[in-house]
Amino acid sequence: MDPIRLRVKRQARPDAEPYWEEFKIPYRAGHNVHSLLMEVQLRPLRADGTRTSPVAWDANCLEEVCGSCTMFVNGQIRQACSALVDTLARPIVLEPMKKFPVVRDLAVDRSRMFESLKRVRAWVPIDGTYDLGPGPRMTEEVQQYAYALSRCMTCGCCLEACPQYNDHSAFIGPAAVGQAILKNLHPTGPLTKEERTAELMGIGGIVDCGNAQNCVVVCPKEVPLTRAIGDAGRETTKKFFRDIFRR
Amino acid sequence: MAEQRHLVVGGGLAGLMTTIKICEGGAAVDLFSVVPVKRSHSVCAQGGINAAVNWKGEGDSPAVHFDDTIYGGDFLANQPPVKSMCDAGPAIIFLLDRMGVPFNRTPEGLLDFRRFGGTKHHRTAFAGATTGQQMLYALDEQVRRYEAQGLVRKFETCEFLGAIIDEGGVCRGLTALDLRSMKVEAFLGDTVALATGGPGIVFGRSTNSVVNTGTAASAVYQQGAYYGNGEFIQVHPTAIPGEDKLRLISESVRGEGGRMWTWRNGEKWYFLEEMYPAYGNLVPRDIASRAVFKVVFEMGLGVDGENAVYLDVTHKDPEELTRKLGGVLEIYEKFKGADPRVVPMKVFPAMHYSMGGLWVDYVQMTNVPGLFAVGEVDYQYHGANRLGANSLLSCLFGGMVCGPKMLAYAKGLTRAAADVGNGVVERERRRQEDVYDRIYRMDGAENAYALWRELGEWMTQHVTVERHNKNLKLTDDKIVELKDRCGRIGINDLGRWLNQEVSFVRQLWNMLELARVITRGALARDESRGAHYKPEFPERDDARFLKTTKARWTSDGPSLSYEDVDVSMIKPRPRHYDVEKRAG
């Protein structure tokens, strides 16, 4: 088999100009994009044989549950660990996420996603970690929906695909909406959903969703994002009328 | 005295629970992690968490859980903290449920429980087959709530380098490397908790995540903290080999009825069911891994002539499989391209977990006052072999003990970290900075990643399922050679911004130090117990080795001493899984 050609868009620092480098990696069955980058660490040579530095990228679990290694692989947003080389067209082209600041090479800063989770108060405000007895009951049906939402690994694919999410919009994006709805689903949700719904009605909230539905298409975990967005829309409408008649 | 500070290193389950407990006590926490905490290795835990609630009417109880755990660990664990952990199990599950972990439900809306290895009871609560991920997220949310209140400051993309230890031998803070700016910074703390996980990366490829280098544990070991039972390394029987890692296929697959088999004389041979009729496919992991080795290497019965056996769920209802095991079956589908509902999975054992870790007392403090350890990085709860679904429990229980004890310890201090002379702090910061200055100047011919792969191959071949003294000695010599060659590494990346190669060189050195602890501990222990198996010494030897190994760092390698195990609650008895377990 021919060596695997790998083209990587690199960038030394957040404020530096990006540039391209090409690598040639001997073929072996079973490679994924992550293990190709590991081969570059082992032999940091460009395709022309000149020395370079190893590529920087985010990675941790390597089984598509931590969300770290999101990047563009041949123009598609996905995780590097589950991008199996034998299924990819060559040369393989790697680029960093575009909606987040590049830290170096393929490593990006997604802290904005975690800030959004703060904004929608995506947590159950428990009374304490003491032994307060069993939790509330939940039907299997609700559990299955909650579980599907809870598999969101904050990888950022949905935001990358969302036409409304970018650095000149305040939109919190589908991932955070999903987490707000998840917390509303918990049996304690009705006690606390008012303030989450208020956030979803605010600037950068649910009205900014353009209903392009790209998010569900690219989500690697099949999180029911559009269903959650629909739920969020209904909640905000209900609250809108509640607030009017309360005045 | 100045305001007290608490530093927690590691944002997995143990670190987050420790943090929550400290915040609940009203104090502030600085939380350090090499990755955003929501991406910690706890996400990889699949099958579930144990708690003996007896909701299936099987006569289960925390006492039975305790006995299963001690027996499964081949009596090497000190019994009092294990008993406390098992007693706390039900309350911990209820807490997680209240936090919103989407555990699977029964038709009545109650928590569902399934079986796991080394027990006869349905004791494991689960959220699909991504229980660790769901639990981590729930704790991450609680910590974010405290962060929003200003009680938690997060330092993500920061790597722990060492403890700051004053003239009196007391821990007063830590130094950390900002992985982006590559700057070494010192942080004062009245207490420091390491919740930095296991050392899987020492074995090259394992089921562990990229960050599980054990570098933090190794760093404090080199500063005088004892490392306990380092030789006890769990090899999980069912993983799928890959170029970059060995991906876990959860024990819950067998808990839900999965069967292991291989071809023998043209027929399916369910070897675990035949060898261990009492427990069958749900024998503990050390037993199952040895059985797979026997079948593949001694009998030459690997599937298709490969190092593999089958793990089969094709006889189960596909819809139920998706509901209870979807997450793990999806991993097989995505990475192997075949649907386990239709074709049996090909699996092979892989290094998975370290029972050993930093020695701690019953309240999670190391022998360095003020320095705590919690989670997989401690050695406390699993003896010579961990039972499946006990690790999530030990992370949370350890955190629930550790946080309050950190507060109590700090209250008892007569001198605050803030009052420690700047000389101590600056000396440690400079020492760490010098290490990196030296690394940046390395211009030899060796490649750090190549040395690491060599280490991994040796450790996997000689220090996992079967251990022979001759090979252990050779491996120790090899590690010494690799340490020497470490001095001749050449750095390819001279950048001073997110330089992953430079960070890795430091981690590699620390891995080599830990590899010696593991290897020398195994060499010295001439018996077989739990995961530690020496064909030359096939029996457990309680007279000589019912003892905790304590490794102390010296410049000539680890110095080993032994400490009696507290077996005051359950008298040690022979451990067999071919027959029913006798009452303890």
* Cβ <8 Å between A34 and B248: no
Q: What is the CATH number of domain B1-43+134-232+355-548?
A: 3.50.50.60
Kindly report, residue by residue over B519-533, the tens digit of the pLDDT: 999 999 999 999 999
Question: Omega of the bond prior to A91 within 30 degrees of 0, cis?
Answer: yes
Distance between CA atoms of residues B336 and A20, nearest Å: 31
Q: What is the mean pLDDT of residues B311-337?
A: 96
Q: Does B109 touch chain A (CB under 8 A)?
A: yes
Q: Does B450 touch chain A (CB under 8 A)?
A: yes
Whole-number percent of chain B with pLDDT over 90: 97
Shortest distance, CA B159 to any CA of chain A (angstroms)? 14
- Cβ atoms B227, B458 nearer than 8 A: no
Beta-sheet pairing, B6-9 with B191-194? parallel
DSSP B437-462: HHHHT-B-SB-HHHHHHHHHHHHHHH
Distance between CA atoms of residues B564 and B581, nearest Å: 25
Residues of chain A positioned with their CB less than 8 A from the CB of B156:
111
Q: Does B94 touch chain A (CB under 8 A)?
A: yes
Order of strands, sheet of B152-156, starting from the edge strand that comes earlier in the sequence: B152-156, B29-33, B6-9, B191-194, B371-373
Claim to verify: residue A95 and residue A158 sit in the same structural domain: no
Q: Which of A108, A127, A142 is the last residue of a domain?
A: A108
Distance between CA atoms of residues A128 and A131, nearest Å: 8
> Which range marks the domain in which residue A125 is found?
111-246
Q: Please give the ipTM for the structure prediction.
A: 0.97
Claim to verify: residue A49 and residue A98 sit in the same structural domain: yes
Q: What is the mean pLDDT of residues B250-257?
A: 96
Shortest distance, CA A77 to any CA of chain B (angstroms)? 16
Claim to verify: residue A21 and residue A95 sit in the same structural domain: yes
* Cβ <8 Å between B144 and A117: yes
Claim to verify: residue A213 and residue A237 sit in the same structural domain: yes
Claim to verify: residue A88 and residue A125 sit in the same structural domain: no
Look up the CATH number of the domain holding residue A98: 3.10.20.30
Claim to verify: residue A175 and residue A200 sit in the same structural domain: yes
Query: What's the pLDDT band for B292 if we cut at 50, 70, 90?
Result: very high
* Cβ <8 Å between B334 and A82: yes
Look up the CATH number of the domain holding residue A116: 1.10.1060.10
Claim to verify: residue A116 and residue A29 sit in the same structural domain: no
Average pLDDT of chain A is 96
Q: Which of A56, A82, A108 is the last residue of a domain?
A: A108
Q: Which of A78, A93, A108 is the last residue of a domain?
A: A108
Q: What is the CATH number of domain B237-349?
A: 3.90.700.10
Closest residue, chain A, to B180 (C-alpha) = A103
Q: Which among A30, A53, A143 is the nearest to B493, CB-wise?
A: A53
Domain coordinates in residue numbering, chain B: 1-43+134-232+355-548, 237-349
Q: Does B133 touch chain A (CB under 8 A)?
A: yes
Q: What is the pLDDT of residue A246?
A: 79
* Cβ <8 Å between B105 and A103: no
Task: Determine the angle formed by the axes of helices A225-246 and A189-201, rounding to 10 degrees.
Answer: 90
Q: Is the pLDDT of residue A195 over 80?
A: yes
Q: Is the pLDDT of residue B1 over 70?
A: no
Query: What's the pLDDT band for B419 if we cut at 50, 70, 90?
Result: confident
Task: Determine the angle formed by the axes of helices B79-99 and B391-411, rounding to 10 degrees.
Answer: 100
Claim to verify: residue A80 and residue A153 sit in the same structural domain: no
* Cβ <8 Å between A132 and B107: no
- Cβ atoms A71, A103 nearer than 8 A: no
Residues of chain A positioned with their CB less than 8 A from the CB of B247:
62-63
Distances (CA, A) of A187 to A119, B37, B102: 21, 26, 11
Claim to verify: residue A135 and residue A224 sit in the same structural domain: yes
Q: What is the pLDDT of residue A109?
A: 98
Q: Which residues of B participate in catalysis according to the annotation?
A: 285
Residues 6 or more apart whose CB falls under 8 angstroms from that of B571 comprise B584
Question: Which of B34, B454, B492, B505 has the most A C-beta neighbours within 10 Å, making it the best mutation to test the interface with A?
Answer: B492
Shortest distance, CA A71 to any CA of chain B (angstroms)? 16
Claim to verify: residue A104 and residue A136 sit in the same structural domain: no
Kindly report, residue by residue over B174-185, the tens digit of the pLDDT: 999 999 999 999
- Cβ atoms B218, B194 nearer than 8 A: no
Q: What is the pLDDT of residue B514?
A: 98
Q: Is the pLDDT of residue B583 over 80?
A: no
Claim to verify: residue A231 and residue A138 sit in the same structural domain: yes
Q: What is the mean pLDDT of residues B407-425?
A: 92
* Cβ <8 Å between B141 and A53: no
Claim to verify: residue A235 and residue A123 sit in the same structural domain: yes
Shortest distance, CA A243 to any CA of chain B (angstroms)? 26
Q: Is the pLDDT of residue A247 over 70?
A: no
- Facing residues of B569 across strands? none
DSSP B85-101: HHHHHHHHHHHHHHHT-
Total domains present in chain A: 2
Chain A to chain B Cβ contacts (< 8 Å): 195
* Cβ <8 Å between B134 and A51: no
Kindly report, residue by residue over A33-75, the tens digit of the pLDDT: 999 999 999 999 999 999 999 999 999 999 999 999 999 999 9
Closest residue, chain B, to A61 (C-alpha) = B209
Shortest distance, CA A207 to any CA of chain B (angstroms)? 25
Q: Which two three-digit tokens encode residue B54? A: 């007896």
* Cβ <8 Å between A62 and B209: yes
Give chain B's end-to-end CA distance (angstroms, integer).
Answer: 50
Q: What is the mean pLDDT of residues B239-257?
A: 96
Q: What is the mean pLDDT of residues A111-139?
A: 95
Give the residue carrying structure tokens 């598999």.
Answer: A151
